Structure 1
C-alpha cells in the first residue's frame, strides 16, 4: 500500500476503470467486460486503482488480492498475457503490481518492469502482411474445401449456446483430452456476457461444423485487439488444412474490419512456444515484461 501511495495510485472502481479503458485502450484480457464477468464467476473480484495528474486521470489498472495483474477466476477461456493496461503511453511511472506478461507496448514506461533476458516469455502477434504466394496458397486451399462440400459462415448466425457446444466438441476432438476444455454451458455463459466482442468464422463440411477458433475483439480508440484464444477442428478432415484456412480467413476479416475504422490491428496468437511452432508462419515473437521490484 505504501508503494501505491508514494507513486500516486489511488483505490478506484470498475466504472472509473471502464472510462479510462475507453480513453486509452488496452488488451482483451484487460477489457472491463471481461473482468466484470470473471468477477461473477471467480472466488473474489479484482481491485482497481487509478492515478491522477493535475486532477486528470492518466491511467488505471487492476490486480488480484496479491497485487498480480490477473484475475483469480479459474477454468475460464481467458489468458492474461500480453497485457496492455489503460494508461497514458506518455506517462512514465512506478506500477505497484506484479506480472510476467506485460505487453511490449509498455516497455520503458514502468520503472519497476524489465524486458529482454530477464524474461524469456514472448507472445506471437500476426504479421502486418503476407506474401502473395502465401495468399495464393490459402485461397487455393479454401476453394478446394468449398468445391468439395465446405462452407464458411460468420459466427453472427449462431447463438451463444451453439458457439459453446461447437467449440467444446471440436476442441475435444482436436486435442483428444490433452488440454482441458470448459463445459459448453459455461462457454455459452461467457460468450453471452461478452457477445459484442466475439469475432470470426466457422467452417462447415456438408452442413456440420468442422473448425472454429474462439476469437475476442476489443475495440479501442487507436487499435482493435484480437485475441485468438484457441481452436477446435475435426481431425478427420485434416487433409483440407482447416486450421490454415480458418486462421487466414479470420486474419483477413480482422484486417478489413480495422481498415474500415482506420485503426491498427493487434492480432494475438498467444504464447510463443516451441510446441506450437506453426505460429511462426503467421506472426512474429514479441517479448513480454516482468516486474523486478
Structure 2
C-alpha cells in the first residue's frame, strides 16, 4: 500500500541524486529553504534522509524537489512526527522550487507557503488563505517614514548605539545574544534554543544582516538567511529579539530599516530582484515594512 501511494505521489517524477538537484537549483533558482546546502545540512542535522526527485521531459531536466516522505524536505510536520519539533527554525519560509521557465509539473507532496513564482508552472497548487509578507522597495515607503527611520537611527547612534555585522560574532555568540533578546522580547524561549549555535554554524555562510549594541550591550538582533539564485535574491527574516527596556530608541525598527536598506542596495548592485520575506503576513508591524503577496499549498 505504501509503495502504491508513493507511486501515485511521484507520478511524473523519477529518483535522482543530490548533484542533479543542485544542478537544477543552480540553473533554475530557488529560495533559502530549498537551497541544496541548506537542505543537505539541516536534513543531516535532523538525521532524516532526503529523497531527491527530478521531472524530465524529452531528456531535459525541468524541475527537481527534495522530499521527506510525502512532504518536501525540512517540513515542520515531519520534524514533529519524528519527535524533533523545533530542532531548527526556518520560520514560514517562502518556497521557490527549482523549476524551468515554461515547465508544467504536478506536485503532489505536501507543502505550504509555495511562492507566487510557482503558480505558472505547478498544476496542482491551491491558494493558501494566509499570504506572505515581502519587504517593499525603499522608494515605496513614504518620505516621512524614511525621514523618521533615519532620525531614529541617528538618535540611537548619538546615544552610543553601534551597528555591527552579524558575522562579526561567532555562532556561539550569535546564539547567546539571540536567545537572551528573544526571551526578553517575547517572554519564552526561541525555537530550537538548545541547538542554535550548531544551526547557526551550519548555516553561517548564508547568514546576513546586522545587530545593534547600545553602550556595549546587544539590544536588537534579527536572524536573516540569504541565497543568490540566477534571477533573484532570496532572503528570509526568520525571527528576532529586542531589549524592551530600550524601546525609547526603537532599536528593532532601526535594525529593520538598516537590514532592508542594505539588502536592497546589495541586490540592486547585482542587478537582481530581491525577495525579502518576513514570512507569514500575520502581524501588524509587518505591514509597515511589507506588502502582502499570494502564496500556495499542495
Q: Please report the TM-score for the alignment, with normalisation by the length of structure 2.
A: 0.90
Question: In the alignment, does 2:190 pair up with 1:183?
Answer: no
1:109-161, Cα deviation, whole Å (9 max, x unpaired): 2221122xxx3121100112322221111000000001111111112211111
Give the equivalent residue in structure 2 for 1:127: 136
Shift of 1:16: 1.5
Gapped runs of 5+ residues in structure 1? none
1:220 aligns with one of 216, 225, 229: 229
Equivalent in the alignment of 2:28: 24
Task: State the partner residue of 2:118.
Answer: 106
Question: 1:1-12 to 2 correspondence within 5 Å?
Answer: 1-3=6-8, 6-7=11-12, 9-12=13-16
> What is the TM-score with the length of structure 1 in the denominator?
0.91
Task: Give the number of aligned pairs.
Answer: 283
Q: Provide the rounded CA distance (Å) in 2 between the counterparts of 1:87 and 1:135.
A: 37
Q: Which moved more, 1:230-239 or 1:75-84?
A: 75-84
Match runs of 1:69-80 below 5 Å? 70-71=74-75, 72-73=78-79, 74-75=85-86, 76-80=88-92
One of 256, 267, 280 as aligned partner of 1:271: 280
Partner deviation per Cα, 1:25-62 (whole Å, 9 max, x = no partner): 11111111221122122252232101122222111012
Q: What SS does the corresponding residue of 1:246 show, helix, strand or coil?
A: helix
Instruction: Please state how far the C-alpha of 1:197 moved relative to its aligned partner.
Output: 0.6
Pick one of 282, 292, 296 that aligns with 1:289: 296
CA distance in 2, matches of 1:269, 1:254: 13
Q: Distance in 2 between matches of 1:22 and 1:257?
A: 20
Match of 1:36 among 36, 40, 44: 40
Q: Within 1, Cα distance between the matches of 2:270 and 2:132?
A: 25
Question: CA–CA distance in 1 between the matches of 2:131 and 2:266?
Answer: 26
Aligned to 2:267, the other structure's residue is in SS state: helix
1:15 has 2:19 as partner: yes
Unaligned runs of 5+ in 2: 1-5, 80-84
Q: Is the 8 A contact 1:82 1:104 kept in 2?
A: no
What SS does the aligned partner of 1:108 have? Answer: coil
